A = this chain, B = another copy of it.
Amino acid sequence: MMRAVKCLGTGGVEVMKISQIPIPTPGPNEVLIKVHATALNRADLLQRRGLYPPPPGYTDILGLECSGEISGGHEKWPLGTRVMGFLRGGGYAEYVTVHKDQVLPIPSKLSYTQAAGLCEVFLTAYKCLFYLGKGKEQEKVLVHAGASGVGLALIQLAKWKNLQVFTTCGSSDKEKACKDLGADFVWNYKSGSFLPAIKNFGGADLIMDSVGASYVSDNISCLNKNSRWIIYGFLSGSKVKDIDFAKIFAKLSTLHFTSFRARSDEFRNDVISKFIADGVLEEFENGRMKSIIYKELGIEDVQSGHLIMEKNENIGKIVLRII
């Protein structure tokens, strides 16, 4: 048996309780990871509330990523290897199983805490910006929620490939975090619409959008020709009133609606192998790329972790240490 955070029903943070459950058994293409740390994602909050059920066949334990050491399973990964697991669930536990190709080696300079918060945000950012978005040097990218976990990864990946980055965020601390990572222009949305500023910046060849409804109209207005608009979240809701498709048509834009969890192994493996082949992990070795950790908590503090994220206080990742 092992310790894991179970949701006893759906609702507020109080439904999450530490419980004893069986250690999972890896399938033929899987490894077993002894988890050292996991990290929070907004999807966890939705799942806790019953709004984002796990895909059929996967555990209902929360946790989309972890760091730890290989403790069994497939020969691809020797016992004891320090790894990051890119999960469809199960990270909030002492052990988790995961497809052998959805495991990445931890860059040697990173602690288990830093590694726990790397996978989900950097793979999501890489997928949105390059794998789907085909972002190219000198293109202008609008990153909404720049100080979120994915936002901070997007800024770093975009600057790494010499794109020009315009971000939005909602506090001066967050502005500073975005600028420190190299964002070319940061707009605090509490000062009003980002639209005049992004137009002045030269519009957007790419939009990385986790905000949804409230920005749709301004997003459409700033799209450049042949632009790609990647929609991966709905912080402000998803219901849009009065949208004129002709305005998007005039820009010849492509809209990608994308998540990771419900994707096939084939898709997930392909993004991971391109991410590795492109050399992103080396950039953590040389210090150019950073896994930004806001707070490290013990697994018993999982409820406070969720509350921090719910209040949008964090800049970067909230990590839960399992051991």
Contacts and interface: CB of A to CB of B under 8 A. Distances in A.
A234 B245 contact: yes
Contact of A245 (B132, B213, B254, B263): B213
B238 A245 contact: yes
Contacts of A70: none
Contacts of A234: 245-246, 249
Interface string A73-100: 0000000000000000000000000000
Interface residues of A, number: 30
A67 to B, nearest CB: 27
Interface in A128-142: 132
A263 B252 CA distance: 8
B239 A242 contact: yes
Contacts of A132: 254
Contacts of A17: none
A257 interface: yes
Given A245-B213, A245-B238, A257 B254 contact: yes
Interface in A238-270: 238-249, 251-259, 262-263
A242 B245 contact: no
B246 A238 contact: yes
A181 interface: no
A212 interface: yes
A53 to B, nearest CB: 11
Interface string A120-131: 000000000000
A231 interface: yes
Copies in the complex: 2
B258 A231 contact: no
A198 to B, nearest CB: 20
A265 B98 CA distance: 46
Interface in A196-242: 212-213, 216, 225, 231, 234, 238-242
A241 B241 contact: yes
Nearest to A249: B257
B252 A244 contact: no
Given A240-B243, A246-B238, A255 B252 contact: no
A259 B252 contact: yes
B254 A244 contact: no
Top-5 shortest CB links A-B: A238-B246, A255-B255, A238-B245, A249-B257, A248-B257
Given A213-B245, A238-B247, A238-B249, 12 more contacts: A231-B249, A238-B246, A239-B242, A240-B244, A240-B245, A245-B257, A249-B258, A249-B259, A252-B258, A254-B254, A254-B255, A255-B255
19 contacts: A132-B254, A216-B245, A231-B249, A234-B245, A234-B246, A238-B245, A238-B249, A239-B242, A239-B243, A239-B244, A240-B242, A240-B244, A241-B242, A245-B257, A249-B259, A251-B257, A252-B257, A254-B257, A255-B257
